[in-house]
Structure 1
């Protein structure tokens, strides 16, 4: 039994040494992708959620639908304002109606009779006042009535001309402006109606859904978080003493251990980092005094990296 235990201990020791040797010959890194947040523009309650976490959606796909009852009320108000403004503009362009014109013509006929009567009366009194048969005061009163009838007739002629030719151009412009304003309010409601639908802005994988059915989504609140598969890259933490082995633009082989897959890539960027939280290597083996750098590697063929999970481990040889 002691021989068996001794043999087992030797095998474990050899395995540990072998694993340690392998770890010292590689540099670990992480798979990263650009992230995207989808937010709502107007407040509303979640009525439907059409995707699940992990789904891959295309640009323009509907992710969720909001319930916004205030939109319908504003739509009714805007439609009423549009009808009123259109009627005002039409009336300013076309002038009075047929009935209104008939009323004005009847008014003119009555004023014409008054004017003719006042004119005849004045003509009769002119001779009499010259012969001193009537006092001057009586003549002046009839003359005033004549002038008043004449002024009223002139006014109604001008009113008839206005309704036949339409109102002043300034009033037409004002009515048109009111109509445009009402149409703008209706368009605003239609835009708000479209904002009920939460749309995917890009091709993305849904990683997180922040709200549930019935919960209130406020303007600017993140409703969905996702990653863009076509932006996959690999991030490694390199000590300054190791930089001589890596140059921007060099091709490099990246291994995804859990898939047992090797991917060709190119070193895109190397920059210094100073925050420990940004270190991608799980078990760094560098000197504490050795400055650290972040190395970004982009896959040569992005399709080769689409199936790799975000934040999973990848390695490169030293």
Structure 2
């Protein structure tokens, strides 16, 4: 009997201790736990040139370096525009060369011959007039004859002056204004070629950053609209952790503050630095713990960046912050 009483007493003491420990745990403040996730910079690579995808050189999961060729777009319409622009450029440059070089040697020689011809005609007309003038003074020729000879001499003289002006103009070449206009047209045509060439360069798209291909949305042979993303690239070197923090917990975060976060997938505690706290809150749609308040709490987005690169980090991994 005595042994049974002792055992019962020991059982009651043990039960009391267990109840006391349970009550202590129930009324002791529990450490808070905030859960966030990893995000990273994503680039959607598209082409300004609409056309058919000629080739895609990457697949999901491929690692690419900045400048690596990702895909190419073929556009026959753009090839035709380039041909037109190059033709306009060649024509404008030919006009500029013509204005700069002036008349050809043969044209200058022809203008000179026309002037000499007009000069000879004017000399002959003057000689003829002098003869008719002498006959008129002697009373042999009529006044009408003398007037006709004088008019022909004057006309021949003006023709000589016009031929001389044409000869001098051929020697001088094009006017300064005409040369400037030709040069301007040549520059404008060259700009059109460069514009089309720049657009064509966008048909050969290269990686804007070093990273990993996360998605390929179109394959070779498919039509690609202008601006439609064909390849998505994620740069894990530009990764950060995002938390949705309730406003009553926001006081625990300061910009520039260093915080130890746990990444369960990597089984590591890693130092992060608070880089951004949103200036505008939103009504909470998810709460990591009960707030204990009878009014709606707002949440604020908090971003933290790792103090050093993290190996094997992936977008979407959970990040935990344990409080006191």
**Offset at 1:101?**
2.3
Q: Distance in 2 between matches of 1:169 and 1:116?
A: 35
Is 1:89 the counterpart of 2:89? The answer is: no
Q: Distance in 2 between matches of 1:298 and 1:187?
A: 42
Match of 2:159 in 1: 152
Is 1:264 the counterpart of 2:271? The answer is: yes
**Offset at 1:118?**
0.8
Give the number of the structure whose alpha-carbon radius of gyration is greater: 2
**Offset at 1:66?**
0.7
- Taking the TM superposition and a 5 Å limit, the aligned residue runs for 1:64-79 are 64-79=71-86
TM-score relative to the length of structure 2: 0.80
Match of 1:307 in 2: 312
Q: Distance in 1 between matches of 2:51 and 2:99?
A: 41
In the alignment, is the contact (CA less than 8 A) between 2:260 and 2:321 conserved in 1?
A: yes
Match of 1:49 in 2: 56
> Deviation above 6 Å: which 4+ runs of structure 1?
none
In the alignment, is the contact (CA less than 8 A) between 2:45 and 2:232 conserved in 1?
A: yes
Q: Deviations over 1:254-311 (max 9, x none)?
A: 112122222122233444632446x5x6x6544573443333222121x12x522111
Q: Distance in 1 between matches of 2:282 and 2:189?
A: 58
Match of 1:19 in 2: none
Give the length in aligned residue pairs: 292
Match of 1:34 in 2: 41
Q: Structure 1 249/117 Cα, relative in aligned 2: closer, same or farther at 3 Å?
A: closer
Q: Structure 1 185/270 Cα, relative in aligned 2: closer, same or farther at 3 Å?
A: closer
Q: Structure 1 263/110 Cα, relative in aligned 2: closer, same or farther at 3 Å?
A: same
Match of 1:36, SS? strand
Q: Distance in 1 between matches of 2:103 and 2:65?
A: 57
**Offset at 1:196?**
1.5
**Offset at 1:218?**
2.4
RMSD across aligned positions (CA): 2.6
TM-score relative to the length of structure 1: 0.82
Q: Structure 1 245/194 Cα, relative in aligned 2: closer, same or farther at 3 Å?
A: closer
Unaligned runs of 5+ in 1: 1-22
Match of 1:175 in 2: 182
Q: Distance in 1 between matches of 2:175 and 2:200?
A: 38
Match of 1:112, SS? helix
Match of 2:61, SS? coil
Is 1:274 the counterpart of 2:279? The answer is: no
**Offset at 1:131?**
3.1
Q: Structure 1 138/258 Cα, relative in aligned 2: closer, same or farther at 3 Å?
A: same
Q: Distance in 2 between matches of 1:246 and 1:171?
A: 70
**Offset at 1:181?**
1.9
Q: Deviations over 1:63-100 (max 9, x none)?
A: 11110222332233233223322222222222221222
Q: Structure 1 215/99 Cα, relative in aligned 2: closer, same or farther at 3 Å?
A: same
Q: Distance in 1 between matches of 2:88 and 2:257?
A: 66
Match of 2:322 in 1: 317
**Offset at 1:120?**
0.9
Q: Structure 1 218/284 Cα, relative in aligned 2: closer, same or farther at 3 Å?
A: farther
**Offset at 1:126?**
1.1
- Taking the TM superposition and a 5 Å limit, the aligned residue runs for 1:208-287 are 208-243=215-250, 245-271=252-278, 273-276=281-284, 279=286, 284-287=289-292
**Offset at 1:25?**
5.2
Unaligned runs of 5+ in 2: 1-29
Match of 1:183, SS? helix
